[in-house]
């Protein structure tokens, strides 16, 4: 009873607790939570400003050992790109010293250090020249050159390259600023931002005289470099790195204004690039959504096939964009279905100024279909990145189409022409005969001729010989054989 009587006042006290005290306790709890979260994300506490500046400035210079390391890494990367070996390219990235001048540019803008900016720009130019020259010499004189997917993937940047460069730059600078630099982060950023493959591809484009490849890869490298420098600038500003002080205040103000102007000029193309690439990415996203909602769900009644890997989406921000789809097989998509697709395409806000092209084959054009698919595949395989299995499937389809186009015999036409020219011919049988000499297999077209019973043996042999010559000319195949009975 005593315990119960003692517990009641406590419960009443809790129920009658002052609201102000509850509010004060809640504020204290939120303050502790905020302090905890702030401490978790705060990077200023463990930042070593002097060591960070010293490390970045030390890595800017390209001379002596650094130049030779750069040349070796570029050579290894070129071999890996040529052989389409991702592992070799990653190994080259790990030993590459390309980040130094780019971080130096970001540091110079953040701290108003004009001397560091000059050194960074000069060494950055040296870095690009040595890299491109090494790659050019390799691809110019190496006897085996392949347009590998690893190479050609670096010729057309998109929104993902911009994001990788920016956030990779953030991770790299944050790791550099921490006491006891996180080496694994630096290695990971070196792989992710992929500064080296675009420079190798520039050399490759120059070596094969393909300026589209060279300019596209140089554009990708420029995007990566600008956004890494931009990330460096932002992080160092957030960490409040001190500005470089000059003896003359007028000189300090002038250099500060010049540095700010250059930073703005660099950020403008970076912003434009990001916007353009972002718009293209959104366009292609809607285009792929439109394709998945239309042709990919279309049910072919016969043997039609939609070749997804040969889809061509050409984005033109200033003019007419195009979506080209490829279908093969013994079926044509009706015109009213295509018209419905075009109407549906207009419902997508970014596809309003787009032309829909459907490339398809009919019933009797297997050879033309093969030629088109073969040419289109060769032209588009540069855009099929890291899809070895799909490439093999396409090659098998092309080989099958090629074989079928060569083996196709217009039997109805042949039989009608043979009967019109040889009245004594009562029947015609066609088949393929497989022959081997135990070294190779040959597929031979064989025609069996059935003659009137009253025809003489000599006359039948002469007519059969004439038919064999006619069939060889008609079918453009010297292996055609004829049997008579």
For residues 234 and 169, the answer to whether their CB atoms sit within 8 Å is no
Which residues on neighbouring strands pair with residue 313, listed in sequence order?
Answer: 323
d(CA 139, CA 206): 9
Residues ≥6 apart with Cβ < 8 Å to 349: 286
Contacts 24+ apart (CB under 8 A), 50-58: 51/179, 52/176, 52/177, 52/241, 53/107, 53/111, 53/241, 55/176, 55/181, 56/100, 56/103, 56/104, 56/107, 56/176, 57/104, 57/107, 57/116, 57/119
d(CA 123, CA 225): 13
Residue 298: CB atoms within 10 A of its CB come to 12
pLDDT in tens, 275-306: 887 888 888 888 888 888 887 778 777 667 77
d(CA 31, CA 14): 23
The predicted pLDDT at position 6 comes to 47
For residues 81 and 200, the answer to whether their CB atoms sit within 8 Å is yes
Architecture of domain 411-484: 2-Layer Sandwich (3.30)
User: Which segments within 409-440 are labelled E, that is strand?
Assistant: 425-436
CATH classification number, 49-244, choose in 1.20.1080, 1.20.120, 1.10.1200, 1.10.4160: 1.20.1080
Every domain of the chain and the residues it spans = 2-30, 49-244, 285-407, 411-484
The predicted pLDDT at position 337 comes to 85
Residues of the chain with pLDDT under 50: 1-9, 12, 183-184, 192, 247, 362-365, 385-386
The predicted pLDDT at position 269 comes to 66
Among candidate residues 270, 268, 47, 265, the one with its CA nearest the CA of residue 165: 270
For residues 320 and 351, the answer to whether their CB atoms sit within 8 Å is no
d(CA 208, CA 169): 32
Residues ≥6 apart with Cβ < 8 Å to 261: none
For residues 72 and 95, the answer to whether their CB atoms sit within 8 Å is yes
Burial class (CB in 10 A: 0-12, 13-18, 19+), 6: exposed
């Amino acid at each position: 009873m005593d315990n119960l009587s003692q517990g009641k006042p406590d419960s009443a006290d809790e129920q009658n607790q002052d609201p102000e005290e509850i509010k004060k306790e809640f504020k204290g709890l939120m303050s502790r939570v905020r302090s905890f979260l702030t401490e978790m994300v705060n990077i200023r506490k463990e930042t070593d400003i002097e060591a960070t500046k010293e490390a970045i400035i030390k890595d800017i210079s390209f001379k002596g050992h650094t130049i030779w390391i750069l040349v070796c890494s570029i050579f290894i990367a070129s071999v890996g790109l040529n052989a389409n070996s991702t592992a070799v390219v990653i190994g080259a990235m790990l030993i590459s010293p390309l980040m130094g001048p780019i971080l130096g540019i970001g540091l110079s803008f953040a701290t108003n250090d004009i001397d560091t900016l000059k050194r960074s720009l000069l060494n950055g130019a040296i870095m690009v020249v040595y890299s491109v020259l090494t790659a050019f010499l390799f691809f110019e004189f190496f006897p085996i050159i392949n347009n590998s997917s690893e190479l050609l993937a670096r010729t057309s940047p998109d929104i993902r390259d911009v994001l990788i460069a920016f956030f990779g730059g953030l991770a790299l600078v944050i790791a550099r600023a921490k006491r006891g630099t996180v080496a694994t982060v630096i290695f990971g950023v070196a792989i992710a931002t992929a500064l080296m493959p675009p420079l190798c591809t520039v050399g490759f484009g120059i070596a094969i005289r393909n300026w589209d490849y060279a300019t596209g890869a140089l554009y990708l490298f420029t995007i990566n470099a600008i956004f890494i420098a931009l990330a460096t600038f932002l992080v160092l500003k957030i960490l409040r790195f001190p500005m470089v002080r000059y003896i003359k205040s007028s000189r300090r103000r002038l250099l500060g204004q010049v540095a700010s102007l250059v930073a703005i000029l660099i950020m403008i193309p970076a912003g434009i690039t990001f916007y353009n690439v972002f718009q293209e990415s959104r366009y292609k996203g809607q285009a792929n959504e439109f394709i998945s909602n239309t042709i990919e769900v279309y049910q072919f009644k016969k043997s039609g096939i939609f070749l997804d890997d040969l889809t061509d989406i050409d984005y033109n921000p200033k003019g007419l964009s195009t979506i080209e789809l490829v279908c093969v097989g013994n079926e044509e998509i009706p015109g009213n279905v295509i018209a419905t697709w075009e109407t549906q395409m207009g419902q997508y806000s970014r596809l309003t100024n787009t032309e829909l092209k459907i490339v398809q084959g009919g019933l009797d054009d297997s050879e033309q279909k093969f030629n088109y698919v073969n040419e289109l595949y060769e032209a588009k395989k540069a855009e099929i990145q890291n899809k070895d299995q799909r490439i093999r499937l396409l090659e098998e389809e092309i080989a099958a189409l090629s074989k079928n186009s060569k083996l196709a015999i217009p039997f109805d036409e042949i039989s009608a022409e043979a009967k019109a020219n040889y009245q004594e011919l009562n029947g015609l049988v066609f088949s393929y005969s497989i022959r081997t000499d135990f070294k190779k297999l040959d597929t031979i077209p064989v025609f069996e001729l059935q003659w009137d019973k009253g025809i003489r043996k000599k006359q039948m042999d002469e007519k059969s010989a004439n038919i064999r010559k006619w069939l060889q000319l008609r079918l453009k195949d010297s292996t055609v054989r004829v049997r008579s009975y």
